[in-house]
Each structure stands twice: as structure tokens, then as C-alpha cells.
A = this chain, B = another copy of it.
Amino acid sequence: MAAGADPRASTLRKVILPFTIDARDGRARTGRLETPHGTVRTPAFMPVGTLGAVKGVSPSALREVGTSIQLCNLYHLAVRPGIDVVEALGGLHAFTGWSGPILTDSGGFQVFSLARLAAVDDDGVSFRNHVDGDPMRLTPESVVSFQERIGADIGMVLDECPPWPAERGRVAVAVRRTTAWAERSREAWSGEATALFGIVQGGIFDDLRLAAVRDLSALDLAGYAIGGVSVGEPESERRRVVEVTAPALPEAKPRYLMGVGTPADIAHAVVQGVDLFDCVLPSRNGRHGVLWERDGELRIKNARYRDDPTPLLCGVSRAFLHHLFRCGEVTAGVLATLHNLSFYLDFMRDLGEAIASGSLVDWLAACPVARLDRGPPG
């Protein structure tokens, strides 16, 4: 269903997201995505607030570290507290206290990775949720409706994300279904609050990825994501998928690599023309004492940091964060998360500036944490 062939296209495209590319450096781009709740400078990293808040981080701290857009998860919110509750409270922004842009993941990935007894058919997916085991069902239409009712700035279409490894036949079915669901999502879309992004599946099969890109591009959605990565595949496979898929996506639309990754993974994808990212690594690794800095990763619990006065991005010294981890204080995880989020968001800003000044290759070469060949964390 190409947009040009659809007589409803002009009325359907009510919520558009103006996306301006300000500069290019090779395939990499830097630009601005205008959402109903504010402008997102790209390339951008979206901290993950699965249940509405990044673990250990208040809305004001999330602003302070430089967040422009937060990711929340429709599956988790549908399980608890429920879409009706969020809607009745005025939507996701009023509910969570985060007044900036919000993207909601559709729940496709979570249904297949977290929920029990997931049974997918051409109409949708039935499962028992991971909290109380209650039966639930999501369809492309209900997912769009949920995201619109809670006022997400960007909603993702429901997709089928096969586990890894998956055989070609299994992946081909998932691609066909995900594309069909994207068409139904677009038809169900009221266009009143939420912009819709499509999701490219296809596993590690380049031709399936490219077929998905072709079919989804014809739907003229507000943006496109590369899904089904970071599901266990080797790094080399993941990078090849990005190299094949990203440049093929519509040039004028924002491109989003879902669930990726380390600074080096992100740098690689930015070079391939990706604009948006989300990942739990800054918060999850932070809680385990793994910090990112320009020179690489460090394990702050190591004894070598006991006397190290070097300041971190969370307002305390390495020695103090080491002390708090050694004491088992919850503050340790909070501060490490704030440091890592600050690092990621500064890193994205620096990538954008390097693109704008046409110096991306040199900048990356001089930034150890962005290199693929760096050693293990110190």
C-alpha cells in the first residue's frame, strides 16, 4: 500500500514530525526532530524508562543529565498500572512528570522475550503477562490505540521479533507479519496525538531486511526502526545488519536502531546514518559498577579507584563512588547511572558536532571508547 495510491493518505498524516537534516558527513547526519513536546537534536540517545522512569532517576535529574527524549514501554505500562489508569491521569507526560518527548516501544519485543505462552497469529499475539500471569492480547490496532490514548509523541507499530538464532523460514514469516501489521497500524491510526514508526525485522538475512525496508517505506510512516538486533547475535552480524539496512531506509525520515548499544556500537551506527538509539546499558551496567569514560570502560569497584580523586560526571569523585559501592549503598547505582547517562548524552552531542564540522572520522579515531578494538574494562 504505497502512500501515493492511498486516497486517505493526506488526511491520515495529521501528526507529522518535521525532521530537518542540518549537516551530513559521509552517511552520518545531524538534525532536528520536532515533536509535540519539544525538539530532539539527532543523533540522539533515549534513556530507557521502562515503567515510566529510568531506574533510580527522578524526572528533574533526567533533565539535568541532558535527556531530550525518554523511551517508555507500552507492554509494561499495559500490565501495570494499565492503559486506562494512565489515560485517566492525563496521559504519560502528566503521569510520569516527564514533560519532554516520549517514544513508546510497542511491546512486540517484550511479549516474545518476557511474557509467557506467547501465541502469535496473523491477527495479533496472545500471552500471559510476566507479573501476575493474567491473559492479555495485543493487536496492531490495540497497540496504536493504546499509544494514542496515553499521548506518546512517537509510537512503534506492533512487530514480531523472532528469537535468535532463528531459521530463515521463521524470520520470513515474522517479516511478512510485521509488514502486514504496519499497514493495519497505519489504517488504525487516528493521527491525533502520536506519530508512528515502522520496524524493520529480517534477522541476519540481508534480503529479508531489504524487502522489509522496501515494503515499509511505501507506507510513508513518520520514521523507521531497525528491530530484532541485540537479541544475542554476534557483534559482527549486528554490525553487518546495520550496514545493510540503515543506508537503505528513507533518507528524509529519522532512523532508529532499537536496543543498541555500547558507545562503539552507537558510533558505528551513526556512521551508517542512524539517528536514534535506546539502550538499558548505561543504567544496568551503572548499577553493576561499570562506567563509561572517553578512554573506555572502568569497573569502579576495583581497589585501584579507592584513592582516585578524578571527578565523575555525576558530581562526585571516583573514590567516593568506589566507597559507596563498597558499602553497598543504593546511592552508588544511582550516581553511576547518572554518570553513564551524562556520558552517553555528551557523547551523542559530540558526535553531532563532529558531523556538523565534517570531522567525524577524525573525532572517532581520537575517541578510544568509540573504537571497536579497545581492551577489557579496567
Contacts and interface: CB of A to CB of B under 8 A. Distances in A.
Interface of A: 51-61, 64, 80-81, 85, 88-90, 94-97, 306-307, 309, 311, 314-317, 319-320, 323-324, 326-327, 329-331, 333-335, 338
16 contacts: A53-B316, A53-B331, A57-B331, A58-B61, A59-B316, A60-B64, A80-B323, A81-B319, A81-B323, A85-B319, A89-B317, A94-B309, A95-B319, A97-B320, A330-B330, A334-B334
**Which 7 pairs, one residue from A and one from B, show the smallest C-beta to C-beta distance?**
A97-B316, A59-B315, A97-B315, A53-B331, A81-B323, A60-B315, A89-B309
B53 A329 contact: yes
Given A59-B316, A97-B317, 20 more contacts: A51-B323, A51-B327, A51-B329, A53-B329, A55-B331, A56-B331, A57-B331, A58-B331, A58-B334, A58-B335, A60-B61, A80-B323, A80-B327, A81-B319, A89-B317, A90-B309, A94-B309, A97-B311, A330-B330, A330-B333
A90 to B, nearest CB: 7
Residue among A53, A58, A329 having the largest count of chain B Cβ atoms under 10 Å: A58
Contacts of A89: 307, 309, 317, 319
Contact of A81 (B90, B326, B330): B326
A314 to B, nearest CB: 6
Given A58-B315, A97-B316, A316-B97, A85 B306 contact: yes
A202 B97 CA distance: 48
A61 B61 contact: yes
A310 to B, nearest CB: 11
Contacts of A59: 315-316
Given A58-B335, A324-B52, A316 B96 contact: yes
Contacts of A315: 58-60, 97
Contacts of A306: 81, 85
A334 B311 CA distance: 23
A324 B97 contact: no
Contact of A320 (B96, B309, B317, B319): B96
A52 to B, nearest CB: 6
B94 A317 contact: yes
A119 B3 CA distance: 83
Contacts of A64: 60
Contacts of A95: 317, 319-320, 323
A94 B317 CA distance: 8
Contacts of A61: 58, 60-61
